[in-house]
Amino acid sequence: MENPVLDLIHNHASVRHYKPNSIPVSIIETIVAAAQCASTSSNLQAYSVIAITDHAKREKLAALCDNQTFICEAPIFLAWCVDLARLDRACGLRGYTQVTEYTENFLIAAVDVALAAQNAALTVESLGLGMCYVGALRNNPQDVIALLELPRLVFPLFGMTLGWPAKKAQIKPRLPLSAILHWEKYDSNQDAALFKYDHMMATTGIYTGRQIPVPGKEGDMEEYGWMEHTARRVSKTVRPGLRLVLEKQGFSLK
C-alpha cells in the first residue's frame, strides 16, 4: 500500500546531529500550528510551547539536561509544557475557580502535551527537518522553571530539538506487534516476542557486538540485548524529586 503518511511514520528516527543552519520563524510557526490540530481533551488545549533560539540559553538547558551537546548544536529547542495557567485565567475572568489539585487534572494536560508534540514531530519530519525528544528536561525541573520563567500551573514536561540533519539517523526497530497489540484481553504470554526482539536488537540493532556475563553462570558470556539494556534502565530510581516540584507549581496530584 502506497501511503506517504505511513512511510513518514515508519521512517522516524531521533536526530542528534544537526547542521548549523537556522530555521525560519515561519517554519516554527507552521510546526506549532500543526501541533495545535492534535486531539485535545474537551478542547482545553492545556499546553504551551517555549521556543528557545538563544545559544546561551540553550547551553544552560544542555547543562541541565545531562550535558547533552546536541541541545546546543540544534538551532532551536522547544520546551513542551503542561499549562493550566491559561485555564486559570479563563476561570478567573468568568468567576470560577479551577480545580487543579487532582492527578486527573495533570494527566489531562500531560496527554494533551504529548498528542500535540507528536503532531509537531510528524510535521517536522515532513518538512525535511530532524528532531529528538528530550526527557532530560525533567532532570532539574526547578532550574528549568526558573530559566524559562514558568508561572504557577505550568510545568516543563519534555523538550524537543529541531534542526536540519547533519547525517542520516538510525531507525530503531520496534517490538513485534504481538507484544503490543492485544485482542479482547491482555495477553501476558509475551516471552517469545521478547526473546525474538532481544536477539534482533543484539545482532542487527544498536547493541551489536556487546557481550555480558550470563546470570548465574560464571565465565559464560551472552549477547547484550534490549532486555538487559532496558532492565538496567528501569531498575534505577530516576528523578525522585519530581513530585515536590509539581506540588510547588500547583499540582498536588491527590
> In the structure, what pLDDT confidence band is assigned to residue 213 with cuts at 50, 70 and 90?
confident
Rounded percentage of the chain residues whose pLDDT exceeds 90 = 84
The pLDDT score that the predictor gives to residue 212 is: 81
CATH superfamily assigned to domain 4-170: NADH Oxidase (3.40.109.10)
Q: What is the pLDDT of residues 195-205, one digit of tens each?
A: 999 988 888 77
Grid coordinates standing for 25? 520563524
The pLDDT score that the predictor gives to residue 148 is: 98
Grid coordinates standing for 48? 504551551
Rounded percentage of the chain residues whose pLDDT exceeds 70 = 100
Q: Which of 39, 45, 58, 36 is nearest to 162 (CA)?
A: 58
Grid coordinates standing for 176? 513485534
- Any bridge partners for residue 46, and if so which? none
Lowest mean pLDDT among 30-39, 46-55, 187-196: 187-196
Q: For residues 140 and 241, give the distance between their C-alpha atoms in angstroms, rounded to a whole number.
A: 9
Indicate the burial class of 176 (C-beta count within 10 angstroms; 0-12, 13-18, 19 or more).
middle
Cα 25–chain centre separation: 23
Q: What is the pLDDT of residues 57-100, one digit of tens each?
A: 999 999 999 999 999 999 999 999 999 999 999 999 999 999 99
The pLDDT score that the predictor gives to residue 207 is: 79
Q: What is the pLDDT of residues 154-190, one digit of tens each?
A: 999 999 999 999 999 989 999 999 999 999 999 999 9
For the chain, give every domain's residue range: 4-170, 177-234
Q: What is the DSSP string of 126-164?
A: HTT-EEEEEGGGGSSHHHHHHHHT--TTEEEEEEEEEE-
102 residue type, one letter: Y
Place of cell 536488537: 201
